[in-house]
Amino acid sequence: MAALDADPPVDNAALVSQPPATARYPAIDALRGVSILLVVLHHLAIRIPLRKTAAADVFPRWLLSALSYNGYEAVFIFFVASGFLIAHHVFERSGRLSDVDVRDFYVRRFARIAPCLLALLAVLSAMHLLAVPSFTIDTSRQSLPWALLSALGLQLNVYEGATGYLPGAWDVLWSLSIEEVFYLCFPWLCRLVRREWVLAAALGTLALSLPFTRRAIQGNEIWLEKAYLPGMAGIATGVLAAMFLHRIGRLPRPWIFIAAGLAGMVAVLTAGNVLWKRLEDATMLILTLSTASFLLGASQLRAARRETPGLLRSWGRLTYEIYLTHMFVVFTVVHVFRAAGGTLRTGFLWYLPLVVLAWLVGAAVARGFSLPMERWLRARLLPRAPATAGLPTAR
């Protein structure tokens, strides 16, 4: 695995404009790119269903469904990848999970997450106060102060479970609530549980509980999708994969892990209806374990020392920025589609503009705001902090 590289003493503008010096693992970037693309397509497909467009005359129904309705599954792929990458970075910096530097861990999470989150909440608050359609909170059951408090308090999933869905650009924050609650506890758990096998047993129990924690939720469709424990089970699966890799050093045949992981993920994403009927909630466990298998194998492939072109890899490097901003693009595309008198038959034509615009907005936010802010915060809160490890950063 690539070693950590030190941050060069250059200003933020230069850091944004220059290619990163650390190695990248294209297969992991591509997996994250596929995941965020599925989320973006899902949110447009809810409003302009692909199966009702002329694309249904050309492409099989299973393929259109796979492209349209796997947003939820894609978020669980994110969860597993996040746990794997963050645990890997702790190993790279500290050698052992039990030696994690709690302050360093929190500062890195804060520098990555907070700038975009706070900026998004400011924009959404302004749009609500201006009564912008599709961005206005229904005040008969929800309120702006409580929505802000739930987002900042990492309980937006709980708030939606109790009051109903928030507007789309708010709703995406449910996964962030789950992820960051896990990471608030994670470094302390690593410090307190000194024996790695005990930590692995606890995380393994959580990872394997995914079907049971989902099955235990009854009567609340929103909470079924957004409860803490199922999402944390996915993150724990990724952490376990990183622990396994750290323990054995290298896999003898990484392509076996990659092939098995791809087979499982493709099966869930393309034949989900069949699997759900037969395996029910265990289908999500197949997805998380398959994702972990793919990550194990992909992390063993030779890293690229320079950025290489590729749309999916580019999307994978911008997952956080695209995830937080893509609903603005979705609502814009849908509004223009309707204003232009578009029909569902021609609705497929609007998917390509969505993909291009979502990437452009995410890239602009990353280059113009989130990357400079992350570097600025790290430079001041961790003056001698090393750069990110060879594996891509989580989120």
d(CA 22, CA 303): 9
Q: Does 91 map to a domain?
A: yes
| Placement of tokens 């129904």 in the chain | 61
Q: What is the pLDDT confidence band of residue 349, given thresholds at 50, 70 and 90?
A: very high
Residue 392 in domain: no
Residue 3 lies in a domain: no
Position 21 scores a pLDDT of 38
Asked whether the beta carbons of 311 and 37 are under 8 A apart, the reply is no
Task: Please indicate, yes or no, if residue 6 is contained in any of the structural domains.
Answer: no
The reported pLDDT for the residue numbered 311 is 80
User: In this predicted model, what pLDDT tens digit does every residue of 142-181 receive, in sequence order?
Assistant: 999 999 999 999 999 999 999 999 999 999 999 999 999 9
Q: What is the mean pLDDT of the chain?
A: 89
Give the dihedral sign, CA 82/294/321/229.
negative
pLDDT at 196: 92
pLDDT of residue 365: 98
Structural domain includes residue 19: yes
| pLDDT for 391 beyond 90 | no
| Whether residue 22 has pLDDT greater than 70 | no
- How sure is the predictor about 326, in pLDDT bands with cuts at 50, 70 and 90? very high
**Domain around 207:** 12-381
> Over 60: is that where the pLDDT of 8 sits?
no
386 found inside a domain: no
Please report which confidence band the pLDDT of residue 301 belongs to, taking 50, 70 and 90 as the band edges. Answer: confident
Position 89 scores a pLDDT of 92
Domain count, the chain: 1
Q: Bridge partners of 386?
A: 6
Tell me whether residue 256 is in a domain.
yes
Domain assignment present for residue 20? The answer is: yes
pLDDT at 31 over 70: yes
Give mean pLDDT, residues 339-364: 95
